[in-house]
Amino acid sequence: MNRGIFITIEGVEGVGKSTNIEFIKKYLDNLNIDYLVTREPGGTLLAENIRDLLLSIDDDSPVELCELLLIFSARAQHIQKVIEPALERGIWVICDRFTDATYAYQGGGRGMNTGLISELETMVQGSLRPDLTIILDLDPETGLRRARNRGELDRFEREHVEFFIKVREAYLQIATDFPKRCAVINAGKELGEVSRDIALLLKTRLFEE
């Protein structure tokens, strides 16, 4: 049995990750590929509880190091309980954010030491890395407007636009540093155009090698 393919979807707030994941699901359905969709932080009961802690707005929000360690704690649970077992069974995994988000948000946005993030990445993931990372790119101001239109904002969505500018820059740097794994999709286009770009990407990266 072939190992499953691990696809991660990344981007700042409001880029349309959920909508485009729905398109990817339909694309894989048409090819009769078994897959599961999950998210980070989250994916298991314990990891979802950690997610609630990270996103909640209260008087005792986690300090930066606590935030980072909580994210990797949730990731450890997620990998061992969900991601690795699925991949080993030949099931494709589509994950709404993964470790690139940590480099972008905690490394880029918060300015945390990326060396520390890298150490935790190796400790928690071992050799596990996505086969394909789709970075949905959008001007942060546009993304934040979209996020506000969805309803009440969580703790991260309430950050200033300058924070998300740094996050976006970090994502684009990741795409530059890892061109074989990452692909940037312009999420500012009309939805149909974005879907076509993703379909072409999936076809060329995963089915024509």
Query: What are the structural domain ranges in the chain?
Result: 6-206
Sites in the chain below the pLDDT cut of 70: 151-155, 157-159, 208-209
From 129, 63, 59, 61, select the one nearest 98 (Cα to Cα).
129
Reduced to 3 states (helix: H, G, I; strand: E, B; else coil), residue 49 is helix
Quote the pLDDT of residue 101. 97
Quote the pLDDT of residue 207. 81
For residue range 151-164, list pLDDT tens digits in order: 666 667 666 789 99
Quote the pLDDT of residue 208. 67
Q: Which residue's structure tokens are 């909580």?
A: 70
Quote the pLDDT of residue 55. 82
For residue range 113-139, list pLDDT tens digits in order: 999 999 999 999 999 999 999 999 999
The helix (H) or strand (E) run that includes residue 137 is strand 132-137
Question: Is 25 known to sit in a ligand binding site?
Answer: no
Question: Is 203 known to sit in a ligand binding site?
Answer: no
Quote the pLDDT of residue 38. 98
- Confirm whether pTM is higher than 0.85: yes
Question: Is 13 known to sit in a ligand binding site?
Answer: yes
Name the CATH topology of 6-206. Answer: Rossmann fold (3.40.50)
Question: Is 17 known to sit in a ligand binding site?
Answer: yes
Quote the pLDDT of residue 204. 94
Question: Is 43 known to sit in a ligand binding site?
Answer: no
Question: Is 15 known to sit in a ligand binding site?
Answer: yes
CA distance 49 to 26: 29
Question: Is 12 known to sit in a ligand binding site?
Answer: yes
